[in-house]
Amino acid sequence: MIKMPRLHILCEGQTEETVVREIIAPYFAVGDIHVTWSIHKTKRPAGGCAYKGGLGTWGRLLPEIRLLLRDSSITLLTTLFDYYGLPGDVPGMATRPHGTPYDRVAHVERSMAEAVGDRRFAPHLVLHEIETWVLLGHDALAELTGDDGLAEAMRLIVSTAHGAELVNDGITTAPSKRILNLCPRYRKTSDGPLVISEVGIDDIRKACPHADGWFTMVQAALAR
């Protein structure tokens, strides 16, 4: 019996875990890729349970990556982290080049991979955050919230930026901040995955070049 290649995705938090479990894993399974996942542990108090979700420092993240890579059954280890809000000590953040957001995020991903130094580690940062994919689901979120005007407002945000991935990462203008401004009732961990599921991976790939590059890389790396 031929063993399926195993992709392990280290997730930033609960929302990303749900997206991986319910949307990304079934998508890759069609191509005979077995997906497993875990949530990054930000800290572990003495005698207590580890806190999960969000990103701490690179110093906390690196040992977790190395520990996962000790598992020889993992064919490829990747991440589903937001580029927005990434800790400043992550490799490449302090040396990002001038250029497009695509150039800058790719520089950080390469720097992270080089810092780990294992060919099985191929990090991925969502440009600019997981709500980028939610912005594509303007009709789905409008229907979910019962706000007909929401769809047009979200379309305008994406078109003005010339693409969902180019909606910037300002503290008040990042994708999640814009969605919350339009829809204060939006709940990241529940509404986000529902909307992303309605959008679908194929449409995300068509609209988001950086995300498409990640899916293409994984499929190529794990092709039999």
158 three-state secondary structure: helix
Nearest to 90 by CA among 121, 111, 67: 111
Domain ranges of the chain: 6-127+208-221, 131-199
| Residue type for position 28 | F
* Residue 24 contacts residue 200 (beta carbons within 8 Å): no
Task: Classify residue 60 as exposed, middle or buried by CB count within 10 Å of its CB (0-12, 13-18, 19+).
Answer: middle
Question: Would you call 218 helix, strand, or coil by DSSP?
Answer: helix
Structure tokens at 30: 């069609």
pTM across the whole model: 0.93
The CATH number of domain 6-127+208-221, selected from 3.40.50, 3.30.720, 3.30.310, 3.30.420: 3.40.50
One pLDDT digit (tens) per residue for the chain, 224 residues: 567 899 999 999 999 999 999 999 999 999 999 999 999 986 443 344 444 556 889 999 999 999 999 999 999 999 999 999 999 999 999 999 999 999 999 999 999 999 999 999 999 999 999 999 999 999 999 999 888 899 999 999 999 999 999 999 889 999 999 999 999 999 999 999 999 999 999 999 999 999 999 999 999 999 86
